[in-house]
Amino acid sequence: MIVYEFKLKGKDPQYRLIDEAIRTGQFIRNKALRYWMDNQGVNKYDLNKQSAILSKEFKFADKLNSSARQSACERAWSAISRFYENCKKNVLGKKGFPKFQKNNRSIEYKKSGWKLSENRKKLTLTDKHKIGTLKLIGSRDLNYYQIEQIQRVRIVKRADGYYAQLCIKADVRNPEKFFEPTGGAIGLDVGLKYFYVDSNGNTVENPQYYRHAEKQLNRLNRQKSKKFRQGQKQSNRYLKAKNRYSRKHLKVIRQRRGYATEIAYRVVQSNDLIAYEDLKVKNMVKNRKLAKSISDISWSTFRQWLEYFAFKYGKVTVAVRPHNTSQNCSNCGKKVEKSLSTRTHICPHCKYVEDRDVNAAQNILKKGLSTVGHTGTYAQGDLPSWLVGVILLANGESMN
């Protein structure tokens, strides 16, 4: 599955109609969730039926295409099923009980409600909202694919405009485009000082995009707060200040994602096997002192792109348990206790001296080589990102 993203170019009345369609989708999703709360034994098919019932009950809901209404109900069921799964697995803490959406920013169409022009450079939304034709701005050529291969079209609103995401059913794994074997195997130890340190002693700098933009973000946030009116309709000045603040955040997000994607591509291109720690980033960001730095380095995004590129270009990725990778000696295997402030590994047993992160990367590589070919390749049983169902943006290439 491949996801291509294009920027939409239209007129202001068309953008307002897109906003109306997004609000309608949010309304249907919340109504479906309320129906599940008020009735026992409701399943996925019962929620799908609500899309037709709501279109008859509310005239504005009937303007939205039937496939988009069904997608809105499917979003509600996705939140419900995730809650059920967490309850069955006895996940610690909150189980993620479904909540009503207040600021939804996307609407999703299936096979109907849209059509492409003959040159595949224009998108027309054909439901009763009468949004009309919008230009697709991007470098990807959709003429390589048949219309039947496009499974879904999602319209997304961001701070800098509106985007169309096309989910295309295609096999990204082409043996003819596989990278030539290099015979290299590498272990990666991600950190905060460096983006990562590999088992060969090489380091990649951490750009810290958020830290560098933090001063400007704080200033924009203060400008926004000064124009806020409690309990009143917000002025155009406030909305403009809010948009400037959001656009700056969006730029930082794209910088982090682009950097992680580029580094992942280089690593996969240069090595046949990549081993890395199976970190639970969601739990790590609960540390108040390190949460900002961990979020700024995008470990999860880096891992997702590593797994995707490895699958696409015929390489191997291995996620290993992070237990004692920093404490054990990579030379003799004995455990050497050290605090976080100790940056040099000195083994009293074999007298091996090495940088703490390089020693951890070497341990990670050894663990990865020992698990290749076994069922425990993914340390916690987690599947790589390219096996997580057919969900829009779950995998594939996205282009800004």
* Mean pLDDT, residues 219-235 taken together: 92
Q: Six-digit token pair at 387?
A: 């096996």
**Cα–Cα distance between 344 and 346 in angstroms, integer?**
6
Asked if residue 372 has pLDDT above 50, the reply is: yes
Query: What's the CA gap between 157 and 132, in Å, rounded?
Result: 17
Task: Render 50-73 in DSSP notation, one character per residue.
Answer: HHHHHHHH-HHHHTS-HHHHHHHH
- Per-residue pLDDT at 97: 93
Q: Taking residues 214-227, report their average pLDDT.
A: 94
pTM of the model: 0.84
Instruction: Kindly indicate the confidence band of residue 29, based on its pLDDT and cuts at 50, 70 and 90.
Output: very high
Give the Cβ contact number of residue 100 at 10 Å. 12
Could you give the percent of the chain with pLDDT greater than 70?
93
Q: Are 263 and 204 in contact (CB under 8 A)?
A: yes
DSSP code of residue 127: S
CA angle 140, 159, 261 (to 5 degrees): 45
Residue 103 tokens, joined: 């600021």
Q: Quote the distance between the C-alpha of residue 283 and its chain's center.
A: 17
| Cα distance between residue 258 and residue 264, in whole Å | 10
Answer whether 116's CB lies under 8 Å from 126's CB.
no
Residue type, 75: R
SS3 393: coil
Place of tokens 């230009």: 135
Helix (H, G, I), strand (E, B) or coil at 394: coil
User: How confident is the model over 104-119, as a mean pLDDT?
Assistant: 91
Residue with tokens 């046949």: 272
So where are the chain's domains? 2-168, 175-206+251-387
Helix axes 12-38, 44-57, angle to 10 degrees: 120
pLDDT tens digits, one per residue of 130-170: 999 999 998 888 888 888 899 999 999 999 999 999 999 98
What are the residues whose beta carbons fall under 8 Å from the beta carbon of 112, sequence distance 6 or more? Answer: 65, 66, 67, 126
Query: In the β-sheet with 161-168, what is the strand arrangement from edge to edge?
Result: 106-109, 150-158, 161-168, 2-9, 132-137, 122-125, 114-116
DSSP state of 378: B
pLDDT in tens, 276-329: 998 888 888 888 888 899 888 888 999 999 999 999 988 889 998 888 888 888
